[in-house]
Amino acid sequence: MFETELTKLLRRSQSASEGDLMYIAKDNEVAHEVLNEICKSIIKRLDNIEEYTTTLLSKIRYRPEDRGDYLSLKENLDYIYGRLNNLEKK
């Protein structure tokens, strides 16, 4: 932890002036504003990542050997599970 003369005084139970307390309050206010901006930035970046991956997943296409058309990821998974269920029934 970063320690100042003021925090040393406060730890030793010595009184702080009103100006010292205002300094601490302002310092905390600035720290909270910085943390809020960091959180907003992280949220924005996560939203961008989520949008990109959703878009990318919808563009993935694959054509199984026994099919003539390309299938989306969901269609391929449905196809695979359908084949597995058919094998299990035999």
Q: Which residues contact 57 (CB under 8 A, 6 or more apart)?
A: 73
Cα of first residue to Cα of last residue in the chain, in angstroms, is 67
> Which is it for strands 61-62 and 71-72: parallel, antiparallel or unpaired?
antiparallel
**3-class SS at 16?**
coil
| Beta-bridge mates of residue 62 | 71
pLDDT, position 72:
86
pLDDT, position 73:
85
Q: Which two tokens stand for residue 32?
A: 């909270």
**Model pTM score:** 0.49
pLDDT in tens, 8-58: 666 666 666 666 666 666 777 888 888 999 999 999 999 999 999 988 877
pLDDT, position 38:
95
